[in-house]
Amino acid sequence: MVMEYMPHGNLRDFLILHSMKQDDETEVDQNECSQDGVILTDNQMVQFARDVANGMAFLARQEVIHRDLAARNVLIDANLTCKVSDFGLACHVTDLEMAKRFHHETPLPVRWMAPEALLRGIYSQMSDVWSFGVVMWEIASRGEKPYPGISAKDVVIFLKDGNKMVPPRSCEQKICNIMNSCWEETPDQRPKFEDLVEKFDNILDVEHDYLLLKFVH
C-alpha cells in the first residue's frame, strides 16, 4: 500500500514538540522553537481543529464511524494540514452490532470515548463528535493527556457519575463553547461535523478581518 508521506508525524507529538520551547515562562529565541521553524499560534490551533472536523465530516458522509479519534491518530502533512488516520476500529453504520462485539473483545481508548459508547457500547457519528471534543482539548492543552490526574479505570466512574472535563484555562470562550457542545450528554444535542467546520470557518474569518497593510509612498 502506497500512502502520502506525512513529515510532521502525529498531532499529539507535534503539539508537545512545538510547545516545549514556547512556554511563556521560558525565555527562548523563537528561531529555536523547533527545527522546522514552526511556531504555534492560536490561529494555527483553530486550523488544526478545523482540519480534523473536515476529515470527520467526510467520514460522516460516507456513513463511517471512526471510534478511535484522538490526536495520536491525526497526521500532519508538509503544509501543516491535519488528516485523520488509523481506521483499525472504524466501522460502517450498518456494522454496529459487530462494533458492540468488538467492545468486549478489544482494548478501548476510554479517555476519548463518549459515555454511551464507553458504558453501553453504543457508537454513532455523535460518539465521534464527543471524541472530537477531546481532540480539541488535546490541541488547546498542547498535547496533554485527557483527564489529567485520573486513571483510565477511574475515567469510567468519572463519566458514569455525569462529570466532564473542564477546558484548559488558556482556551478562549468561543472555543470552550464548541468543546463543551461536543460533550452534551444527549448525543442528538451535539453538533454535526459539518456544523463544526462552519463554526471554525467563521472563527478563522474573524481572524482575517484586520490585516497589516504596507503603503507605498
Q: What is the pLDDT of residue 205?
A: 85
pTM to 2 decimal places: 0.87
Amino acid identity of residue 44, one-letter, is Q
Q: What is the pLDDT of residue 33?
A: 46
Question: Nearest Cα to 136, choosing from 156, 166, 162, 159?
Answer: 166
Q: What is the pLDDT of residue 157?
A: 95
Active site residues: 68
Q: What is the pLDDT of residue 210?
A: 52
Q: What is the pLDDT of residue 164?
A: 96
Q: What is the pLDDT of residue 20?
A: 74
Ordered by start, the domain boundaries in the chain are 40-192
Q: Split the chain (217 residues) into runs of 10 and give each run's mean pLDDT.
A: 87 92 48 61 95 98 96 96 94 72 73 94 94 98 96 95 94 96 97 97 74 54
Could you please state the CATH topology (level 3) that the domain comprising 40-192 is classified under.
Transferase(Phosphotransferase); domain 1 (1.10.510)
Q: Would you state the cell numbers that stand for residue 206, as one nine-digit string? A: 474573524
